[in-house]
Amino acid sequence: MAISEQLIQATAGKLITFASIDLPDDVSRALQDAYGQEADPAARSQMEAIFKNIDLAHKKRVGLCQDTGVPLFYLKLGLNCQIIGDPERALTQAVAKATNEVPLRQNVIHPLTKKNSGSNTGWGIPYCHWEVLPGEDYLEITAVPKGFGSEMRAAQCWVLTSEDVDRAAVKAVLDVVEDAMGEPCPPVIIGVGIGGFADSSMANAKKALFRIPIGSHHPDPLVAALEEEIYKAINSLGLGPTGLGGKTYCLGVHIEISGSHTAVIPISIIYQCWACRYSTARIYNDGTVAYLTHAEGDEQRE
């Protein structure tokens, strides 16, 4: 058997819907944990408003945020996976259909003419990141409606290897946080890419945002220690939810690294707002779809 283009489209459509309306369990737990740590009345009030927003979106089956984002997919392709048709065409069709049915705000425009496609597709959107998995027989799809209030606060700097890269990374992140304050809609997740090229460093930072669960550490102990240090440093600033004061500005710091040039190293920083929307499923060769992040995700056969 093989995975059909139609099954990919149907699965992606469900993932977009799940991601747009309901937070994954790890995000919900992280927000509840943050609320439990807050004593400041203003911070608790902001968190309570977030929970009310989450509850209304779930009950009314509408988007968590008025900015329903630009569609982004992370895809893991098992080399033993068989696909009939064009998977990226299927994803594009799923986005167009979801734009009408969820509905999603029509966000995608031509960057020069500002013409709106009306379907959240076109000009290379939806954007797809592909990863190959040797030996696996499934296609894993993660749908991310990435909002731009947090996206636009991304930043990148370059550090000479004659400098202390750890200290530079801490300073770079704190500088970005203190400049952004409440704009990225905290509590946030912060992704950091260290090393690689300019583009791959930023791609690593964005990929790191959706590490599951929030707050889990990189397997390299040096990287894990730096994640913890930056996380504590950010929350010690006292910026809190929405930047109005409190203990929790950041729910987690996730770092990804890549080999770099001997002379200079890029450090990329990107935000994800509290509405950390993503949904993941695996489609197997036999037609089974396993939804991994949402309650509706009981394993089913299409």
What pLDDT, in 10s, does the model give residues 214-265? 999 999 999 999 999 999 999 999 999 999 999 999 999 999 999 999 999 9
Nearest to 122 by CA among 99, 149, 154, 142: 99
Position 68 scores a pLDDT of 95
**CA distances from residue 10 to 134, 258, 288 in whole angstroms, order as listed:** 25, 35, 13
Domains and their CATH numbers in the chain: 3-22+64-147+277-301 (3.30.360), 149-272 (no CATH)
Q: What is the pLDDT of residues 125-146, one digit of tens each?
A: 999 999 999 999 999 999 999 9
What's the CA gap between 125 and 145, in Å, rounded?
12
* Burial category of 88 from C-beta neighbours within 10 Å (exposed 0-12, middle 13-18, buried 19 and up): middle
Position 296 scores a pLDDT of 58
* Distance, CA of 126 to chain centre: 14
Q: Supply angle C-alpha 242, 243, 244, rounded to 5.
A: 95
CB 278 within 8 A of CB 207: no
pLDDT-derived band at 294, boundaries 50, 70, 90: confident
Position 1 scores a pLDDT of 80
Position 20 scores a pLDDT of 97
For 48, the token pair is: 């309570």
Q: What is the pLDDT of residues 22-59, one digit of tens each?
A: 999 999 999 999 999 999 999 999 999 999 999 999 99
pLDDT-derived band at 295, boundaries 50, 70, 90: low
Q: Which residues of 238-247 are buried (b: 16+ CB within 10 A; e: fewer)?
A: ebbbbbebbb
Nearest to 270 by CA among 207, 197, 187: 207
**CA distances from residue 164 to 167, 169, 192, 209, 221 in whole angstroms, order as listed:** 6, 9, 16, 24, 17
Q: What is the pLDDT of residues 152-197, one digit of tens each?
A: 999 999 999 999 999 999 999 999 999 999 999 999 999 999 999 9
